[in-house]
Amino acid sequence: MEITTTLRSVLDRKGTDTWSIPPGASVFEAISEMSTRNIGALPVIRDGHLVGMISERDYTRKVILLGRSSRDTRVDEIMTVDSVTADPHDSIEKCMQLMTKCRVRHLPVLEYGRLLGIVSIGDLVNWIINAQTAAIEDLEHYVTGAYPG
């Protein structure tokens, strides 16, 4: 496990299972799916292509705070259209910078225009922590003479 690895490695370890919602679904359906799956965002897919993202943040800011009904509001009315995306070959460092700069917590990973998976900021932080822990253990083994190499 390396800190300088790519999103492909993160997805290989995490898995590429994704759930999505169509743009015409109600916000209530989207929030219900997020609750069931214990996730904070869903890709919005039309004809196999990513057309947006809907998150808990979209729900709170564009439905709840405006006094709208989640059952009467469609996903495509509140989704984030210009989604920030990444390529599976992008580095974890690049994606952390992108997510921080754009203030997003979920990053769809596209390969040849198709959704390959989604990584969260938590996925990337966990990867970095695990990589640092492994590097420290390797250094400790090296210093104490227990290094197998």
What is the DSSP code string of 34-101?
HHHHT-SEEEEEETTEEEEEEEHHHHIIIIITTT--TTTSBHHHHSBSS---B-TTSBHHHHHHHHHH
Strand pairing category for 106-111 and 49-55: unpaired
Mean pLDDT of 63-92: 95
pLDDT at 147 over 80: no
Q: What is the pTM of this model?
A: 0.83
Q: What is the pLDDT of residue 138?
A: 72
Contact 9, 59 (CB under 8 A): no
pLDDT at 148 over 70: no
Contact 18, 117 (CB under 8 A): yes
